[in-house]
Structure 1
Amino acid sequence: MSHEVPLPPDLYGRGRDDRFLRFLDAVTRFYLPISTRSDRYGRRVFPPEPGPLRLVVTDREAAAEDVVALRLAAPDGGPLPPWQPGAHLDLDLPSGRRRQYSLCGDPADRSGYRIAVRRLPDGGGGSVEVHDALHPGARLTVSRPRNAFPFAGDRSVLLIAGGIGITPILPMAREAAARGLDWRLVHAGRSRASMPFADELARLGADRVELLADDEHGTPDGADLLGRAAPGAAVYVCGPAPMLDAVRTAFDASGATALHFERFAAAPVTDGRPFTLRLRRSGTELPVPADRTALDVLREYDPATPYSCRQGFCGVCRRQVRSGTVEHRDRKLTDQERAAGQMLVCVSRAPEGECLELDG
């Protein structure tokens, strides 16, 4: 039961409520529920999470050797949610696989999203499915754009892309050019034929873009790449693990002041110790070596094990732990979810010798 709290007497001793305090009381009663998102009983009210998007493939083109670019739009042609350079989408493919792809179009174009995917015959199957199954007219469930690789718009910028790593970097170059920043971009790849969007990059500024094909120039090392950075520049890099490792190793000796990067694949396991997974339903025990992830071992046992980012921030590989101590290394789960026994098996582990019992 609620009780009305009477207003204090008039500040000047008059025989009525103070008008100013009555006014403040009315304003508070009106705006407090709005500002705190609470209902009339004081309970917090949170808006529902926006749902996924239902999109259709409206265009498909070859962007480079073994690279296909797809345009995704709303079936009714309506505007799509906004995004910023560095953002990505989660695609639910027809097979049930979920994969992440960077947005590589123009953020100002709300009529469609563009992604580009290189075919990897020896990968997890997602890229092959995109190439073989997604043609104009195909319908997909797609997450709203999320950004784990944001572009801060630093005054001086060096952008480095390796192969298909140009996909998040291209919108950054477009943004840097639009803002009039001091920017340079280096795109390295096996050959010119394998490097997508060269024409678009040249239109942004041929004097600011450098293409380094391995078959012409050899494979650049980290110090060579960072040598293009102006003193005090911020560096943004996306590419294969050897490129990232080379840039990170050479960074401290460069004149750059900030390093931002996004990996194609999972980072190597560091400080890992062997432990065991037990599948509760079957009783199967799976040893996890010190240099492999729980996800690697689960996928080897069951190739249908769901996963996406392999970096601990999307939550697709979430599993319920029934017993055992988890070393959480993700960037997704809340303290409450961890306390409830949830785990992201792509990055999180257990102490040496521990056995984690998982549902399933």
Structure 2
Amino acid sequence: MIGGRSALRVEEKELVAEGICKLRLVEPRGMRLPDWAPGAHIDLNLSNGLTRQYSLCGNRWDAMSYEIAVLLEQNSRGGSEFIHRQLQVGDLVQMGGPRNNFRLVPADHYLFVAGGIGITPLLPMIEQAAMMEVPWTLLYGGRRLSSMAFIDRLRPHGDRAVIASRETQGRLDLAAAVSNLPRGAKVYCCGPTSMVDALEQICSVLPPGSLRRERFSAKIHPGPVRSTAYEVELARSGKVLTVKPGESVLDAVLKAGAPLLASCREGLCGTCETAVLCGVPDHRDSILSDAERERNASFYPCVSRSASDRLVIDL
């Protein structure tokens, strides 16, 4: 069920690097799973009440299973710890998706940059680029080689995949890699906040839209554009809601009884994306590119607000 909820069974669970386990998930009745493209993720609704998003990193042409890899976070809020410590082969988990906020778009050349577990959404992209014979380079960094997953899967690509641990080789030279990019290149990055922020600065000299990134945690934004209440009109029902300072649009919408699916509530997963029909949003998500923000065609009501007195949305 695309975009809805369905059950998956844990078919395999194995440790693929220090602190990283890979899960192979299948439909319990052996049915085909929804298709997906590189960059897609699924929501896992765990039996401890938590919902977490994980990138699909397996073979996209395998219609019978999904693969994800999960890092055991040092300061786990309960999701990764549950998967590592409690989830067992044979258990059922509820799934939402797949969804894709990190699509691989056509380019003349790709630079992929991964930090740690950030390699997971990039693996299918690399394999897609290789299959299409588009030139690409990967910079993959981590603390230690022992903590970096899927190195064996990357070895066949030779020197196009630069694998470096900070323990032995120091940090990746992102500036040099970007400065050597040919015209028409796209940069795809997934990793810790420090890496993504640094790459955003470095790529600011490239044409708009050259950098696509996916973050582990929500980007820190300055204070809201406005500190006063504003109105949100639900176009389909005609309801007009007053959203108070400090209240999210999502909470106001749900309080009014309008159906709106949400998951992370951090502007990271894309579940609650809603079309904007009129007005100017105050975008506070970690998904949209600068060009997409300027278009104001959609926003994420879990974190984004309104910069105008009224926002008309497609609900």
Work out whether the TM-score is over 0.5. Answer: yes
Amino acid at match of 1:191: R
Name the counterpart of 1:101. Answer: 54
Instruction: From the superposition, tell whether residues 315 and 112 of structure 1 become closer, same or farther in structure 2 (CA, over 3 Å).
Output: same
Amino acid at match of 2:41: H
* 2:162 aligned with 1:185: no
Contact 1:330 1:344 in 2 (8 A): no
CA distance in 2, matches of 1:49, 1:167: 21
Amino acid at match of 1:92: N
Instruction: From the superposition, tell whether residues 127 and 272 of structure 1 become closer, same or farther in structure 2 (CA, over 3 Å).
Output: same
Q: What SS does the corresponding residue of 1:207 show, helix, strand or coil?
A: helix
Contact 2:38 2:121 in 1 (8 A): yes
Q: What SS does the corresponding residue of 1:60 show, helix, strand or coil?
A: strand
Name the counterpart of 2:99. Answer: 146
Superposed displacement of residue 230, structure 1: 3.2
Name the counterpart of 2:217. Answer: 265
CA distance in 1, matches of 2:53, 2:189: 18
* 2:125 aligned with 1:169: no
Q: What SS does the corresponding residue of 1:144 show, helix, strand or coil?
A: strand
Name the counterpart of 1:233. Answer: 185
Contact 1:74 1:80 in 2 (8 A): yes
272, 282, 288: which one aligns with 1:315? 272
Superposed CA deviations along residues 311-347 of structure 1, whole A, max 9, x for unmatched, are 162239x9xxxxxxx9653679xxxxxxxxxx844x2
* 2:164 aligned with 1:207: no
Please report the TM-score for the alignment, with normalisation by the length of structure 2.
0.74
CA distance in 2, matches of 1:131, 1:328: 38
189, 192, 199: which one aligns with 1:247? 199
Superposed displacement of residue 85, structure 1: 0.1
Report matched runs for 1:274-285 at 5 Å.
Answer: none
Contact 2:110 2:188 in 1 (8 A): yes
Superposed displacement of residue 121, structure 1: 3.0
Q: Mark the runs of 5 or more structure 1 residues left unpaired by the alignment.
A: 1-47, 278-286, 296-305, 319-325, 333-342, 352-360
Report matched runs for 1:113-152 at 5 Å.
Answer: 113-152=66-105
| Identical-pair percentage | 36
Contact 2:69 2:120 in 1 (8 A): yes
Instruction: From the superposition, tell whether residues 72 and 309 of structure 1 become closer, same or farther in structure 2 (CA, over 3 Å).
Output: farther
Amino acid at match of 1:237: C
CA distance in 2, matches of 1:178, 1:77: 28
Superposed CA deviations along residues 221-275 of structure 1, whole A, max 9, x for unmatched, are 5413424533431111111111111111011346997111111110111343796
Name the counterpart of 2:253. Answer: none
Superposed displacement of residue 148, structure 1: 0.3
Amino acid at match of 2:267: Q
Contact 1:189 1:212 in 2 (8 A): yes
Instruction: From the superposition, tell whether residues 222 and 154 of structure 1 become closer, same or farther in structure 2 (CA, over 3 Å).
Output: same
Q: What SS does the corresponding residue of 2:264 show, helix, strand or coil?
A: coil
Superposed displacement of residue 189, structure 1: 0.8
CA distance in 2, matches of 1:124, 1:134: 16
* 2:46 aligned with 1:110: no
Name the counterpart of 1:41. Answer: none
CA distance in 2, matches of 1:217, 1:207: 16
Name the counterpart of 1:37. Answer: none
CA distance in 1, matches of 2:271, 2:208: 30
Report matched runs for 1:11-26 at 5 Å.
Answer: none
Instruction: From the superposition, tell whether residues 169 and 348 of structure 1 become closer, same or farther in structure 2 (CA, over 3 Å).
Output: same
Alignment size in residue pairs:
265
Superposed displacement of residue 133, structure 1: 1.8
Q: What SS does the corresponding residue of 1:252 show, helix, strand or coil?
A: helix
Give 1 or 2 for the bigger CA radius of gyration.
1
Name the counterpart of 1:329. Answer: 283
Contact 2:42 2:99 in 1 (8 A): yes
The root-mean-square deviation of aligned C-alpha atoms, in Å, is 3.4
Contact 2:3 2:96 in 1 (8 A): no
Amino acid at match of 1:197: F
Name the counterpart of 1:31. Answer: none
Name the structure, 1 or 2, with higher relative contact order (CA <8 Å, separation 6+): 2
Compare 160-169 and 71-80 and name the one that shifted more.
71-80
Superposed CA deviations along residues 41-66 of structure 1, whole A, max 9, x for unmatched, are xxxxxxx9863221100001111110
Amino acid at match of 1:173: I
Name the counterpart of 1:321. Answer: none
Q: Mark the runs of 5 or more structure 2 residues left unpaired by the alignment.
A: 230-244, 250-261, 275-279, 288-299, 308-315
Superposed displacement of residue 132, structure 1: 1.2
The structure with the greater share of residues assigned to strand is 2
Amino acid at match of 1:112: S
Amino acid at match of 1:61: E
Superposed displacement of residue 100, structure 1: 0.4
